[in-house]
Amino acid sequence: MQRLQVESRLASYQVVAEPGALGRLGEVLAAEGLAAPRSLVSDTVVAPLWAQAAAASCGASLLTIPAGEASKCWATVEDLLGRWLERGLHRGELVAAVGGGVVSDLVGFAAAVFLRGIAWVAAPTTLVGMVDAAIGGKTGINLERGKNLVGAFWPPRLVVIDPQALRTLPARELAAGGAEVVKTAWLGDRGLLPVIRDMAQPRFGALPVEVWQELVMRCATVKAGVVSADEREAGPRAALNLGHTLGHALEAATAYRRFLHGEAVAWGLLAAARLGRRRGLLSPAACEELSSAVRALGPLPGIADLAAEAVASHIGRDKKRDDGGVAWVLPSDGGVALGQRVTIDEALEVFTELQKAAS
């Protein structure tokens, strides 16, 4: 069992990884000194693939929510809380989340508010879940008005990673998660970039399970380091927004339909690399190091047909058009430069350059 410790102001807990850990979840939890969960929550896709076996191994009843982002809402939280009450779950118990970021965000949030807070464990089954969503203690749901507007800092008791789960993850989801891997590697473990670049071809998904485990645990270590320094967002945690300024704008400009989050972040990383280069923060070699790792993940949904003005207006959505810009996180040779003002005009220019380069 490979493990790492996450230390933060709110809690300290371990992330453990081993191939086959999901099928032996009951054993794994017992070995970590945790009681068996009575309720295990998953989604309709992950349940037959991984969660039924995980639930059986710990004698938990399995609750299944519809797969997809739309489940991350009040109605599902209310439904879950009701089912936990029906089953007589009490304060001292543990619940488990087996699935991607949707399941861990939702179950973590429901656990945070159920009886004013019960313990939970996260068993992420997507690349995004393993390197990002399940680590750091943020939980939450979406409102009609926007994503992740309601939530709580409620770290899990334990994160259990079974790298074998990635075998069934669709290639597109895997590549999208790869963009967060590249981001994380840039922030804290550059040695991973050549691994991604060399091994992404011909098929990212064909990596051996040990390589996946290594990749995931090294990224989890970087994220754990960032959140340990600063669980509640200010300061260093802002570095995690690398690639996200344009990424979020692309998602919003296409009504969240065209890009998976990671795909939009991949474009965001390419834009941030160009901006870093323009500002002299990045050497040509470092710019290429970052960009080539992103490109190695494979083709992205296109941006050529998007109106640059519309995308730019989402970048400055909460700001006035002429306010002197928006703060971006930009890559630098040594890591990242926080709070870099980029005017909307400059963002527009770089976006147009990207469109030309991609067409």
Ligand X SMILES: NC(=O)c1ccc[n+]([C@@H]2O[C@H](COP(=O)([O-])OP(=O)(O)OC[C@H]3O[C@@H](n4cnc5c(N)ncnc54)[C@H](O)[C@@H]3O)[C@@H](O)[C@H]2O)c1
The answer for residues whose C-beta is within 8 angstroms of residue 323's C-beta and 6 or more apart is 316
Q: Of 166-174, 248-256, 277-285, 323-331, which part binds ligand X (CB under 6 A)?
A: 166-174
The answer for residues whose C-beta is within 8 angstroms of residue 30's C-beta and 6 or more apart is 36
DSSP code for 129: I
For residues 210 to 239, the per-residue mask of contacts with ligand X, x marking binding by CB under 6 A and - elsewhere, is ------------------------------
CA distance 205 to 226: 27
Q: Of 26-34, 95-103, 245-253, 298-306, which part binds ligand X (CB under 6 A)?
A: 95-103
DSSP code for 125: -
Rg (CA), the chain: 20
Q: Of 98-106, 281-289, 307-315, 327-335, which part binds ligand X (CB under 6 A)?
A: 98-106
Q: Which is nearer to ligand X, 138 or 218 (CB)?
A: 138
Q: Which is nearer to ligand X, 103 or 350 (CB)?
A: 103
For residues 168 to 207, the per-residue mask of contacts with ligand X, x marking binding by CB under 6 A and - elsewhere, is xx---x----------------------------------
List Cα–Cα distances, 98 to 47, 158, 241, 292, 296, in angstroms: 8, 12, 26, 33, 29
Would you call 341 a catalytic residue per the annotation? no
Q: Tell me, by CB under 6 A, how many residues bind ligand X.
A: 29
CA distance 228 to 222: 10
Q: Which is nearer to ligand X, 244 or 277 (CB)?
A: 244
Would you call 233 a catalytic residue per the annotation? yes
Among candidate residues 24, 72, 183, 248, the one labeled active-site is: 248
Would you call 241 a catalytic residue per the annotation? yes
CA distance 214 to 210: 6
Q: Say if strands 12-17 and 39-43 run parallel, antiparallel, or are unpaired.
A: unpaired
93 binds ligand X (CB under 6 A): no
Which pair of structure tokens corresponds to residue 336? Answer: 């990242």
For residues 27 to 56, the per-residue mask of contacts with ligand X, x marking binding by CB under 6 A and - elsewhere, is ----------------x-xx--xx------
Q: Which of 41, 89, 133, 219 binds ligand X (CB under 6 A)?
A: 133
Q: Which is nearer to ligand X, 170 or 324 (CB)?
A: 170
CA distance 48 to 171: 19
Q: Which of 148, 201, 283, 352 binds ligand X (CB under 6 A)?
A: 148
* Nearest CA-CA partner of 54 in 130, 135, 107, 122: 122
Buried b (16+ CB within 10 A) or exposed e, 28-45: bbeebebebbbbbbbbeb
Among candidate residues 27, 78, 210, 233, the one labeled active-site is: 233
Would you call 223 a catalytic residue per the annotation? yes
Would you call 183 a catalytic residue per the annotation? no
Active site residues: 116, 138, 180, 223, 233, 237, 241, 244, 248, 261
**Positions that interact with ligand X (CB under 6 A):** 43, 45-46, 49-50, 67-69, 72, 99-103, 105, 125-126, 128-129, 132-133, 136, 138, 147-148, 165, 168-169, 173
